[in-house]
Amino acid sequence: MEGSKAGSFKQMLLGIDATTEEEYASQSRLLQEFTGISSIDKAWIFKSDSGIGSQAMFLISQPNLLANKRKKFILSSHVLRESNNSVNFQWAQFPVEMTGVSAMVPSPSGAKLLVVRDPEKESPCQFEIWVRAQVEKEFHIPLSVHGSVYADGLFQGISWNSDETLIAYVAEEPCPSKPTFTGQGYKNSTSADKDFGNWTGQGDWKEEWGETYAGKQQAALFVMNINSGETQAVKGIEKSLSVGQVVWAPPVRGSHQYLVFVGWSEGTRKLGIKYCFNRPCALYAARAPNFESEADGPELKDSSTEDSPVVILSQSITSALYPQFSPDGKFLLFLSARSAVDSGVHSATDSLHIIDWPMDGVLSSSTKIVDVIPVVMCAEDGYFPGLYCSSFLSNPWLSDGCTMILSSIWGSCQVILSVNVLSGEVLRISPTDSNFSWNVLSLDGDNIIAVSSSPVDVPHIKYGYLVDKESKDTAWSWLNVSRPTNACSDKVESLLSSLQFSILKIPIRDVSYCLTKGATKPFEAIFVSTKTKRSDPCDPLIVFLHGGPHIVSLSSFSKSLAFLSSIGFNLLIVNYRGSLGFGEEALQSLPGNIGSQDVNDVLVAIDHVIDMGLASPSKIAVLGGSHGGFLTTHLIGQAPDKFAAAATRNPACNLALMVGTTDIPDWCYVEAYGSEGKNTFTEAPSAEHLTLFHRKSPISHSSKVKTPTLILLGAQDVRLPVFTGLQYARALKEKGVPVKVIVFPNDTHAIERPKSDFESFLNIGVSFKKYLS
């Protein structure tokens, strides 16, 4: 009796019964094992001192739930190519944790390593120059010079010059001065009064680049002399320009050194830039600062201290990203997201271009831009679907000087491509018979170090080499690389070994309205299931929907989705039309048709697996975040009897509310109106606009919803502010629909802090078990 009372009291406090509590305990133990799987993020290759083989350095990360951060480690290996076409990685005994490190950039020769450490609040930024056995130099850059270094995202950029004496990088401008007040009123900046009793005002509000950039100052360009530690801002750049992705131009004897970088102009306002490649940008060239001659430092022959004009190198194109010089310095290559900029969608099919670089150092803004890879509108089955590339390696070139290696999306897979930038020839060099996803990490001469994974296989390192360099045969062979430790626990490995996956082609159902050829082709879905036959015909099905909408769910390993597969759910991961990787026509078919075409594609995919006998109609849940949450909440409203449970993270539930509060109001116009949305966009929506936004939104179907729904929200989200999801939750509660809401106070749009991500998927797993068992 006493135990029963204690149990009832606990249930009253926690809001869960004993069965659910046991489910929480069981699933949390397993989820911790999945969470502990490390990720291979980057790799660098260095020449070996002995001249035999190479030295590899891998950056590995792992969530630390207790600290609520990601730990970063460096693990080293000696790489030996054997005579029998095998490769031997001799791993260091232990990794080394890189505490507080925001960036690591080796010098071109590999003799030096720049390590940048995040400053504590109100502390200077710390630069360390490492050589083989020690920290050679350490510099602390005061906040009066600049703030934190931009080490990730579009603004990141750190580059050594060719003689390894100067480092160019992007950092936050110093904080602008704010007004100071005393008991007597305003304090003049020249006042000699003591600070006792003073207080600082807020000063003018300034636009920011939205999601994840809140509170950050303008991205500006700096150069450090590593011999003296002197740091200077690059002059001549307009204050309205945010910069990133800096590289040094090839040196010209007797001429000043130049920097090439990407610049984004804020226009009338800064719209959100995270995940948004539709922001116009251009390549610029600026003269590097002139440091005074030192005995052990660089001496610049042009001693002019006047500002030199900044040259726009890509005036004839609306987007230019990731500048990269050829090994001989004769041309400058860059990626363009002009399809996104010109159409207004946040991401689209990329193109690749080159500019001839003047060997005399005389720059011109009228240089001809040559297409290497144009935008692919519609590819035939099995052929290159277009370029979808998020960045380049720091050195992507093979020894011929004209072939670069990069990763790109091909349908539902990530693949490795070789691109001859002179002929435009594109070859898929990762295995064509594999549905795994492949990502290039580094080049070891003319060989490739990559990582390969699938929804049911943890990442493994691969080593690729050209089978016959002397012939015209372009076949690549890929070797397995032994891991230094087990990739996962024995329990996780056993669970994953019981799973399988396939990529399904889903024919579209309705071709009655006017569609381009690319939009009539089948879309894809990744299906993950158990290999074991069970008494029940089908395991419960989770339909997973990516956000964007113009991104893609890849056939790579996801710890969270693998966890859900391992607790008894099949997965249907739908890449509806509008996803990346299928050509531009299919992608551009979605704007103007959100809430209908994408919803119908998902319903068609579900019916497809039901008809194949892979899913039971009565045991289906739906899960998605952002635009995936838009679809999730649309589906439970438009097909109220189809889903037994739903879960969503930061969903777009009401575009009429979103348009006035988000950092990307233009998204609402482009996705709701289609091709005319870019020009229709205004900061003052009309009643007609708001009516259309409401009609396109899930909240217009909320009165029909019956499905128990879990809603996960980040309180710091500026893309879909928290009250967007709360409004939808309250609308469901008003109708008596079971709703559970969890708000993570310190998370942004992605809800990716380790504790938040853990609690999110634990609750998803427990909720779906409850309603689908």
Catalytic residues: 626, 717, 749
Write out the DSSP string of 134-180: EEEEEEEE-TTT---B--SSTT--EEE-TTSSEEEEEEEPPPPP--E
Amino acid at 32: Q
Q: Tell me phi and psi for residue 668, to 5 degrees.
A: -60, -40
Write out the DSSP string of 530-588: ESS--SSSS--EEEEE-STTTS---SS--HHHHHHHHTT-EEEEEE-TT-TTS-HHHHH
Phi-psi region of 288 (alpha: psi -120 to 50; beta: other; left: phi over 0): beta
Which residue carries 């996801």 as its tokens?
A: 558
DSSP at 651? -
Which residue carries 């539709």 as its tokens?
A: 278
- Cα 368 to Cα 355: distance, rounded to the nearest angstrom: 6
- Length of the chain measured in residues: 773
Contact 538, 567 (CB under 8 A): no
**For residues 195-233, b (16+ Cβ closer than 10 Å) or e, as one string?**
eeeeeeeeeeeeebbbbbbeebbbbbbbbbbbbeebbee
Class of residue 120 by CB neighbours under 10 A (exposed 0-12, middle 13-18, buried 19+): exposed
Alpha helices in 335-478 (DSSP H): 338-343
Peptide bond into 665 cis (omega under 30): no
Which residue carries 């909320």 as its tokens?
A: 702
Q: Could you tell me which of 267, 176, 260, 255 has the C-alpha nearest to residue 217?
A: 176
Q: Could you tell me which of 405, 277, 284 has the C-alpha nearest to residue 336?
A: 277
Numbers of helices and strands, H then E, in the chain: 14, 39
591: Cβ contacts below 8 Å, ≥ 6 apart: 343, 344, 345, 578, 670, 671, 673, 674, 675, 677
The angle at the Cα of 528, spanning 525 to 531, to the nearest 5 degrees, equals 140
Question: Furthest-apart CA pair in the chain: how many Å?
Answer: 92
* Strands across the sheet containing 570-575: 499-506, 523-530, 570-575, 541-545, 620-625, 645-649, 709-714, 739-744
159: Cβ contacts below 8 Å, ≥ 6 apart: 105, 167, 168, 169, 246, 247, 248, 259
* Strands across the sheet containing 311-312: 241-248, 258-265, 282-287, 311-312
658: Cβ contacts below 8 Å, ≥ 6 apart: 652, 665, 668, 693, 720, 724
- Cα 767 to Cα 649: distance, rounded to the nearest angstrom: 14
Write out the DSSP string of 595-644: TTHHHHHHHHHHHHHHHTTSS-TTSEEEEEETHHHHHHHHHHHHSTTT-S
Q: Report the chain's C-alpha Rg in angstroms.
A: 27
Phi-psi region of 765 (alpha: psi -120 to 50; beta: other; left: phi over 0): alpha
* Strands across the sheet containing 331-336: 321-325, 331-336, 351-356, 369-373
H or E element at residue 666: helix 665-673
Q: Which two tokens stand for residue 451?
A: 């990582």
Q: Which residues pair with 416 in a beta bridge?
A: 407
